[in-house]
Structure 1
Amino acid sequence: MLDKSKKTGGSNFSEDEIARFDALAESWWDPKGKYKTALDFNRARLDVIKAQIENHFGKGKLPPDYSTLSMIDIGSGGGLISEPLAKLGAHVTGIDASAVSVEVAKRHAEKSGVDVNYRHMLSSEVVGEGLQYDVVINAEVVEHVPDQRQLIKECASLVKPGGLLILATLNRTFKSYIIAIVGAEYVMRYLPIGTHDWRKFVKPRELQQWVGGAFSLKHQVGMKLNPLKGEWLTTSSLAVNFIQTYSRDE
């Protein structure tokens, strides 16, 4: 019997994970739906991502000219990161292993009048095309693939010299198990039960090792939810959700 949790046919994706996100895709953009908390989290995460892009490329003149920047969102899902960046003028490509998610993202971008190049493909295929980008984003994807090191290696290879690699995931700590698994899935039901496997969470130092010596860690910050106000905030603690930004040497 085929183990769907491992690499199959030379492709680094899990069929079970893709099926799960196919079921979620249609709900991603509904601000009043059951994934409202995830949408709120995405807005806070986008603030961090945009600040890092502007600090790096603005060179004292914030914001930079987004129209000069090429970006790729690895595991773009319904387009929650790709579309806002494209609205700023960036040339954005969003790729995802889920054909349904890509179609959802395409339809939403068309309705919004935003130009995003969505493609149903894997990062390994982009690498095979010999393409590179000013900004490569991999947000909440690495904890869902069988070969995590390979995915990060592929993402790093897609960054132009002088460009940025932005990674976001969940730390493998006791606190993250309590908050992201028990709390978010079983208690608050922010996410369907089984969305995450705690064993696939990644420690910050592991990401740094996988990125490799051609990159410098520029910034890292954690994310936390204020349950009383329902607001996501940045925090110095990387114990649960965190974002890292790397610059590639010229």
Structure 2
Amino acid sequence: MLASKPMNQLRKLLLSSRRVSSSSIIPPSILLHQRLFSTSDTDASAASLPSSHQKIQTLEGKTSNKSRSTSSTTSLNEDELAKFSAIADTWWHSEGPFKPLHLLNPTRLAFIRSTLCRHFSKDPSSARPFEGLRFIDVGCGGGLLSEPLARMGATVTGVDAVDKNVKIARLHADMDPVTSTIEYQCTTAEKLVDEGRTFDAVLALEVIEHVANPAEFCKSLSALSIPNGATLVSTINRSMRAYASAIVAAEYILRWLPKGTHQWSSFLTPEEVSMILRRASVDVKEMAGFVFNPITGRWLLSDDISVNYIAYGTKTSDLGDI
């Protein structure tokens, strides 16, 4: 539970920050109304990794040259890669630096499940609604998203440019026969495009704000999608409210994240993400916000996209660079 003092400070910050109206950016017709989904079957495991350092050393010799290679064309930001490499051991520590993702995961998985079941005409009440579908989790980190997607039946490929992240993800996935089927690679989206890989759904959550060239990155995401495939991108809005909550509160007051994890200037507005995706031939169909309740400690899906938000779009063939 949060201490009362940080909670009060966070509430004051959120209340005092100017609320940014989502209706001036994205038409209301593609926003979700506020609602809470049931996510009991999609929560990611928060189990710790026993002797992870020792096991990573064992895996060093098993990483293929193919998985280490990267394309000559890349949107990688080396400084951002170094940040995440330094804390890679803590991906599955629910009270560690990735605590915000552990808290957010059930809510973003609820959106993914609902949206993709509708897109692919799947039964959302099924235990494994994504059976027969191929998903790629770009910037998979330690596998917090890849694992529940695999449990929902998808054939999952998880890629990350940080080799240590991929090793942690592989170790944790191998603890469960269901998730051990995940294909993890230390590579980039651009490299997979060069290899001609395509997927039914392409997901890049909390990644675009860390790349050097968001436009080129989204072109790669689009190229990885089959025609009419689904693309999901989530990030943080470049708003004063986001600065107050995602940086001041999360990094300096609550200390959920190491200081310097986020750069406000690297955040993208919903309008910018929509434009970048459209120019990459992905037509944004729906957006939703993630809103944190400091009283309950839970995230809700909302039509408020002024801080954290997710965009869902479909691959088209006739938009191009407009």
TM-score (norm 1): 0.91
Aligned-partner residue type, residue 242 of structure 1: Y
Q: Does 1:246 align with 2:313?
A: yes
Q: Does 1:227 align with 2:294?
A: yes
Distance 1:215 1:38, change over 3 A: closer
- 8 Å contact 1:152–1:207 — kept in the other structure? no
RMSD: 1.9
Aligned-partner residue type, residue 197 of structure 1: Q
Distance 1:126 1:9, change over 3 A: closer
Q: Aligned residue for 1:170?
A: 236
Q: Does 1:126 align with 2:189?
A: no
CA deviation vs aligned residue, 1:195-235 (integer Å, no higher than 9, x gap): 00000001111111111264332211000110011001111
Report the alpha carbon displacement of residue 9 of structure 1 after superposing the two structures with TM.
6.3
Separation of aligned partners in 2, 1:206 and 1:33: 31
Within a 5 Å distance, the mapping from 1:59-70 to structure 2 comes to: 63=126, 65-70=129-134
* 1:94 counterpart SS class: strand
Answer with 53-62 or 219-228: which moved more.
Answer: 53-62
TM-score (norm 2): 0.71
Size of the aligned set, in residue pairs, is 243
Q: Aligned residue for 2:88?
A: 25
Answer with 20-29 or 185-194: which moved more.
Answer: 20-29
The match for 2:109 among 46, 50, 56 is 46
Within a 5 Å distance, the mapping from 1:22-171 to structure 2 comes to: 22-58=85-121, 63=126, 65-113=129-177, 114=179, 115-171=181-237
Report the alpha carbon displacement of residue 57 of structure 1 after superposing the two structures with TM.
1.0
- 8 Å contact 1:28–1:39 — kept in the other structure? no
- 8 Å contact 1:55–1:62 — kept in the other structure? no
Separation of aligned partners in 2, 1:97 and 1:60: 34
* 2:295 counterpart SS class: coil
Aligned-partner residue type, residue 229 of structure 1: T
Aligned-partner residue type, residue 247 of structure 1: T
CA deviation vs aligned residue, 1:103-131 (integer Å, no higher than 9, x gap): 00000000122110000001110110111
5+ long unaligned stretches in structure 1:
1-7
Higher strand residue share: 1
5+ long unaligned stretches in structure 2:
1-70, 318-322
> Identity of paired residues, percent?
36
Separation of aligned partners in 2, 1:211 and 1:45: 20
Separation of aligned partners in 1, 2:99 and 2:106: 11
Separation of aligned partners in 2, 1:21 and 1:60: 36
Which of the pair has more CA radius of gyration? Answer: 2
* 1:66 counterpart SS class: coil
